[in-house]
Amino acid sequence: MDEIINKILSKNVEFDDYLKLYDLDLHILGEIAYKIREEKYDRKVFFNINRHINPTNICKDICKFCAFSAHRKNPNQYIMSIEDCVKIAKDSYKKGAKEVHIVSAHNPEVGYDYYINIIREIKKEVPNIHIKAFTAAEVNFLSELSNKSYEEVLDDMIEAGVDSMPGGGAEIFDESIREKICKGKVNSQNWLKIHKLWHIRGKKSNATMLFGHIENRAHRIDHMLRLKKLQEETNGFNAFIPLVYQRENNYLKVEKFLTGVEILKTVAISRIILENIPHIKAYWPTFTLNLALVAQEFGADDIDGTIEKESIQSAAGANSKKGLDMEELIYQVKDAGFIPVERDSLYNELKIYK
Ligand code: V47
């Protein structure tokens, strides 16, 4: 065990050394990860006041893990009007939201301009709200739909008012797993390329990893190492977000689900491997708020935000449909012995709740 820890701290680390981290006792692993977290942020837990908007759930792709997109198991198709999206952003801003997080399905019917004009109109009507929008999977879809290059799509997004990109669509980079769970959508190389192009434009983004389905530990390590490498080049990622797979209403046949221990080990290992990504987010809709708070002792420093209305993970069984009341969130963070810190989307501290 000491050998593994010394090797990790020596930075002369190989793939198998990272994989062996999973063999460590949870508390020892947690202690190493917590030390890194403590040095960066002490007992602070970051959150923001945000609103998710999912303009349409009609999707040309069929990701087997997805319960949000309209298909046989979810026959309720919808397309929101641009006016409705603007109204939600306006109302949320009035109620204190600092960020709208806009993610859609890949809907060819509505056209390229629908996606871009949602951003443009929100920026026009609510100029001070931060717009975090469009996963790399959507950028890839929009590029195919419009015959524009990734560069052109990203420039259109910036021109319309996107401030940062969310981390969705990464799933698991390993090509053999990707083929089984989300064949046809953006491939791993292009996911990373799109984020690189975004970072080159001076913009920030996040990176997710969907785990707890048919992948194994080695696939998770590989995923993290590919992100670490890009971060060394661009330094454009703000946060890494391990998303725990939710099992209901989708087409993935998974027999065994993750234990809390495996989830916490994965969080701790991500904090150790991705020391060059500033934040590790324990996204409460997939962790539950309770485990997201425990994860703060294992390397995470963020729990995302109030969200107001969550649609993607709740469609797959997460208990997160209505978001989270801010008072409750602050109370829970304090009760867990941490200091809640309201942040903006780029992690500037707005208010410390001592
Ligand atoms: O990429 C889909 C995931 C993601 C399921 O950047 C599922 O701050 C669990 O990207 N179980 C979209 N997860 C959400 C996303 C995100 C969320 C929170 C914060 C940020 C950020 C980004 O949702 C998809 C996919 O991996 N997802 N289905 C499911 N059954």
* Residue whose CA is at the smallest distance from ligand 1 atom 18: 283
Q: What is the pLDDT at residue 73?
A: 75
Task: Give the residue with greater pLDDT, 122 vs 248.
Answer: 122
Q: How many domains does the chain have?
A: 1
Q: Does ligand 1 come within 6 angstroms of the Cβ of 99?
A: no
Q: Does ligand 1 come within 6 angstroms of the Cβ of 182?
A: no
When pLDDT is averaged across residues 3-8 and rounded to a whole number, the result is 72
Q: What is the pLDDT at residue 221?
A: 98
The CATH number that applies at residue 114 is: 3.20.20.70
Closest atom of ligand 1 to CA, residue 315: 30
Residue 99 contacts residue 349 (beta carbons within 8 Å)? no
pLDDT tens-place string over residues 35-57: 999 999 999 999 999 999 999 99
* Location of structure tokens 């046949």: 253
Query: Ligand 1 centre and the CA of 5: distance in Å?
Result: 32
Query: Ligand 1 centre and the CA of 312: distance in Å?
Result: 7
If one residue of 173, 243, 303 were mutated to test the ligand 1 pocket, choosing by the most ligand atoms within 8 A of its CB, it would be 243
Say if residue 5's pLDDT is above 80: no
Closest atom of ligand 1 to CA, residue 165: 6
Q: How far apart are CA 280 and CA 271, in angstroms?
A: 7
When pLDDT is averaged across residues 8-17 and rounded to a whole number, the result is 83
Query: Ligand 1 centre and the CA of 243: distance in Å?
Result: 6
Say if residue 191's pLDDT is above 90: yes
Range of the domain at 212: 2-352
Dihedral sign computed on CA atoms, order 282, 284, 288, 294: positive
Q: What is the pLDDT at residue 8?
A: 75
Q: Does ligand 1 come within 6 angstroms of the Cβ of 69?
A: no
When pLDDT is averaged across residues 86-108 and rounded to a whole number, the result is 97
When pLDDT is averaged across residues 159-169 and rounded to a whole number, the result is 98
pLDDT band at 1 (very low <50, low <70, confident <90, very high): low
Q: Which of 42-46, 153-157, 253-257, 327-331 has the lowest mean pLDDT?
A: 253-257
Q: Which of 81-90, 154-163, 173-182, 309-318 has the lowest mean pLDDT?
A: 309-318
Binding residues for [4Fe-4S] cluster: 59, 63, 66
Q: Does ligand 1 come within 6 angstroms of the Cβ of 245?
A: yes
Say if residue 220's pLDDT is above 90: yes
Closest atom of ligand 1 to CA, residue 135: 10
Query: Ligand 1 centre and the CA of 313: distance in Å?
Result: 7
* Residue whose CA is at the smallest distance from ligand 1 atom 6: 166
Q: What is the mean pLDDT of the chain?
A: 95
Query: Ligand 1 centre and the CA of 118: distance in Å?
Result: 21
If one residue of 48, 66, 312, 324 were mutated to test the ligand 1 pocket, choosing by the most ligand atoms within 8 A of its CB, it would be 312
At residue 346, what are phi and psi to the nearest 5 degrees? -105, 15
ipTM of the complex: 0.99
Task: Give the residue with greater pLDDT, 113 vs 5.
Answer: 113
Say if residue 289's pLDDT is above 80: yes
Q: Does ligand 1 come within 6 angstroms of the Cβ of 215?
A: no
pLDDT band at 328 (very low <50, low <70, confident <90, very high): very high
* Residue whose CA is at the smallest distance from ligand 1 atom 9: 245
Query: Ligand 1 centre and the CA of 170: distance in Å?
Result: 9
Say if residue 207's pLDDT is above 80: yes
